[in-house]
Amino acid sequence: HDERTFVMVKPDGVQRGLIGEIVSRFEDRGLKLVAGKFMRIDEELAHEHYGEHEGKPFFDGLVEFITSGPVFAMVWEGADATRQVRKMMGETDPAESAPGTIRGDYGLDLGQNVIHGSDHEDEGANEREIDLFFDEEELVDYERSD
């Protein structure tokens, strides 16, 4: 069934000019882009988005990094989109990611791992993250040809 998933090119990915490459990979796979926003994440949004990691040793560094420069936030739609995107991204740690995945091909380290996608094992993460970054009218409905 079709579902929507939240994806974001992180500040390191933007800095390194990887937005186009990453968007191309999802387009080529047949996923449909329904929203996109080039923006800067402020402290408050960072705390909301990464709330589940609050208190962990890497939390402060994570907030500092994600607010350090612009990100490209997106919503992609397709069959089993969350799981497909996760597979294309690779593991959280680029060192564990297979070549051919986004992090396996471009990732530097666990913190600077190029891209974020909603966790498919976290029920409701998609909806929560889409709501956090986008207003309803920013999600665009249209037909995509294959």
Give the interface with ligand CMP as residue ranges (CB under 6 A): 53, 58, 62, 92, 110-111, 113, 116
Based on CB atoms, which residue is closest to ligand CMP, 67 or 92? 92
The Cα–Cα gap between 92 and 37 comes to 23
Q: Is 126 annotated as a binding residue?
A: no
Based on CB atoms, which residue is closest to ligand CMP, 97 or 113? 113
| Residue 53 known to be catalytic | no
Whole-Å CA distances, 109 to 29, 59, 146: 25, 15, 35
Of 1, 53, 116, 120, catalytic = 116
Least distance in Å: CB of 14 to ligand CMP? 14
Least distance in Å: CB of 31 to ligand CMP? 18
Q: Is 103 annotated as a binding residue?
A: yes
Q: What single-letter amino acid sits at 56?
A: K
Neighbour-count burial of 100, counting CB atoms closer than 10 A to its CB (0-12 exposed, 13-18 middle, 19+ buried): exposed
Strand 32-39's sheet: what is its strand order?
32-39, 71-79, 2-9, 115-117
Write out the catalytic residue numbers: 116
List residues forming the annotated binding site for ATP: 10, 58, 86, 92, 103, 113
